[in-house]
Structure 1
Amino acid sequence: MRWNKKLILFLGTIIVSVAIVFFVKNNAFIYNTPVGHVEDVQVLSKVLQEDNFGNKDYIVRQRLKIRILNGKQRNKLLNVNNEYSLSQATDLKYRTGQDVLLHFNYRKGHVAGTTITDLKRDVPLTILATIAISLLVLMGITGLRALFSLLLNTVLFFIAVEIDVQQEGFGVLAIFSILAGIFSLITLTLVLGWNKKMLVSFLTTVVGTFSAIIIGMIVFKITHNGGLHFETMEYVTQNPEPLFLAEIILGSLGAVMDESTDIIVSLAKLRKENPTISMKQLWISGRNIGKTIMGPLLNVLFMIFMSDTFSMMVLYLRNGNGWGYSFSMNMELGFVQSLISGIGIVLTVPIASWLVGIFFKKGAVRNA
Structure 2
Amino acid sequence: MKRQYKIFIFLVIVSLIVSIIYIDSHNKSKESMNYIEAKAKVLKIDNSNVNRAGISRIGDQSLDIKILNTKFKNEEIKAVNHLTGSLEIDDFYKERDTILVSLMIENDMIVGAKTVSLYRQDWQFILFGIFVLCLLIYAKLIGLKALFSFVASLFVIWEVLIKNLLAGKNPLIITTLALTLLSGIIIFSVAGINKKGISAFVGTMFGLISTIIITVFFGNRMGFYGMTTPFAQTLMFSGYMDLNMQHIFYATIIIGASGAAMDIAMDIAASMEEIKINMPHISKKDLIKSGFNVGRSVIGTMTTTLLLAYSGGYLTLLMLFMVRETSLIQILNIKMVSAEIMRTVVGSIGLVLVAPITAVFAGWIYSDNRMFKIKLNENKSEKKIGVSH
**TM-score by structure 1 length?**
0.72
Distance 1:92 1:318, change over 3 A: farther
2:386 is aligned with 1:361: no
Tell me, what secondary structure is at the counterpart of 1:93?
A: coil
CA shift at 1:214, angstroms? 1.6
Could you report, residue by residue, the CA deviation over 1:225-261 in whole angstroms, capped at 9, with x for unpaired residues?
Answer: 2343523331354112322232222212222111111
Which residue of structure 1 lines up, in the alignment, with residue 140 of structure 2?
A: 140
From 340, 344, 349, the counterpart of 1:343: 349
Which residue of structure 2 lines up, in the alignment, with residue 97 of structure 1?
A: 96
Paired with 2:182 and 2:72, the residues of 1 have a C-alpha distance of: 47
Q: 1:1-368 residue pairs with structure 2 within 5 A?
A: 32-33=36-37, 35-40=39-44, 49=53, 56-57=54-55, 59=57, 64-69=63-68, 75=74, 77=76, 88-102=87-101, 115-138=114-137, 139-157=139-157, 158-166=159-167, 168-169=168-169, 171-220=170-219, 224-233=220-229, 234=232, 235-236=235-236, 237=241, 238-310=243-315, 313=317, 324=330, 328-361=334-367, 363=369, 366=372
Tell me, what secondary structure is at the counterpart of 1:228?
A: coil
Query: CA contact under 8 A between 2:226 and 2:248: conserved in structure 1?
Result: no
Greater mean deviation of Cα atoms: 326-335 or 171-180: 326-335
Paired with 1:357 and 1:226, the residues of 2 have a C-alpha distance of: 38
CA shift at 1:346, angstroms? 1.0
Task: Count how many residue pairs are aligned between Structure 1 and Structure 2.
Answer: 331
CA shift at 1:341, angstroms? 0.9
Tell me, what secondary structure is at the counterpart of 2:36?
A: coil
Tell me, what secondary structure is at the counterpart of 2:215?
A: helix
Distance 1:96 1:137, change over 3 A: farther
CA shift at 1:97, angstroms? 2.4
Which residue identity does 2:345 align to in structure 1?
A: L
CA shift at 1:206, angstroms? 0.7
**% identical aligned pairs:** 24
Greater mean deviation of Cα atoms: 127-136 or 150-159: 127-136
Which residue identity does 1:339 align to in structure 2?
A: V
Q: Which runs of 5+ in 2 are unaligned?
A: 1-19, 21-30, 376-389
Could you report, residue by residue, the CA deviation over 1:207-234 in whole angstroms, capped at 9, with x for unpaired residues?
Answer: 12222322333334xxx42343523331
Which residue identity does 1:159 align to in structure 2?
A: V
Paired with 1:341 and 1:202, the residues of 2 have a C-alpha distance of: 17
Query: CA contact under 8 A between 2:66 and 2:76: conserved in structure 1?
Result: yes
CA shift at 1:70, angstroms? 5.5
Could you report, residue by residue, the CA deviation over 1:123-172 in whole angstroms, capped at 9, with x for unpaired residues?
Answer: 23322233333434444322221111122222222223223333x23x22
Paired with 2:104 and 2:164, the residues of 1 have a C-alpha distance of: 37
Which residue identity does 1:260 align to in structure 2?
A: A
Could you report, residue by residue, the CA deviation over 1:252-287 in whole angstroms, capped at 9, with x for unpaired residues?
Answer: 222211111111222233234335544543343223
Distance 1:163 1:79, change over 3 A: closer
Which residue identity does 1:119 align to in structure 2?
A: L
CA shift at 1:44, angstroms? 5.8
Paired with 1:164 and 1:183, the residues of 2 have a C-alpha distance of: 16
CA shift at 1:40, angstroms? 4.6
CA shift at 1:84, angstroms? 5.7
Q: Which runs of 5+ in 1 are unaligned?
A: 1-19, 21-29, 50-55
Distance 1:348 1:48, change over 3 A: same
Quote the RMSD (CA, aligned, Å): 4.2
CA shift at 1:80, angstroms? 6.2
